[in-house]
Amino acid sequence: MKLETGLERLERKRCCCFTGHRQIEKRPEELSREIAQTALGLWRRGIDTFLAGGARGFDTLAAQRILWLRDWLQLPLRLVLALPCREQTKGWPEVEKRQYQAILEQADKAVYTGDSYTSGCMQRRNRFMVDHSAVCVCCLQGDRTRGGTLYTVRYAASQGLRIINLAEESPGLQPVGEQLRLQEASPGGLWGLLDV
């Protein structure tokens, strides 16, 4: 794995970013399967690079599934970690720090969008992932009215990314002053959409 501090140029049309909550309501096994099937469907359509933000919860689960597809199924996929700062795991439980370190060591690349924690470092990381992706796979739960996942999905929609929401309910987002049309992908509709 190559660590970089600067922003790297990625081929946007071949990239997908992940965003989701730290606390996931869906069963991890079910969500893990959906992540793998979605990634496989995207790979069949030319997406081979997946960006994850290194956060707890959905980001960790998504990164682990990409590594599994790459290593166990021998698919030519790349995992790029877009990390907000070097001390991202400060205050995390030890078990989650070990998971993070294992993913970091197995990732194809890690890009730090900042050197240290600042009030805007997470948003800078999220914007980097969106700005370098054609698709955003998220787990945005319908009851959320604020937070990093909602911000990232709104930004992705405003940038014209295809949005695939793996949460049980895909919310209709209507920020003040504009309407964002998100492509809904219910578990039943998602498989037909991706021909998996």
Per-residue pLDDT tens digits of the chain, which is 196 residues long: 444 444 456 799 999 999 998 887 778 888 999 999 999 999 999 999 999 999 999 999 999 999 999 999 999 999 999 999 999 999 999 999 999 999 999 999 999 999 899 999 999 999 999 999 999 999 988 776 788 899 999 999 999 999 999 985 443 433 322 323 333 333 333 333 333 3
| pLDDT reported for residue 160 | 96
| pLDDT reported for residue 90 | 93
CB of 62 within 8 A of CB of 137? Answer: yes
* Pick from 148, 147, 152, 144: nearest CA to 180: 152
Using CA atoms, how far residue 64 sits from 49, 58, 75, 131, in Å, is 14, 10, 14, 23
Instruction: Look at residue 68 and give its three-state secondary structure.
Output: helix
* Pick from 91, 105, 7, 108: nearest CA to 56: 91
| pLDDT reported for residue 191 | 32
Strand partners, 2: 109
Residue type, 89: T
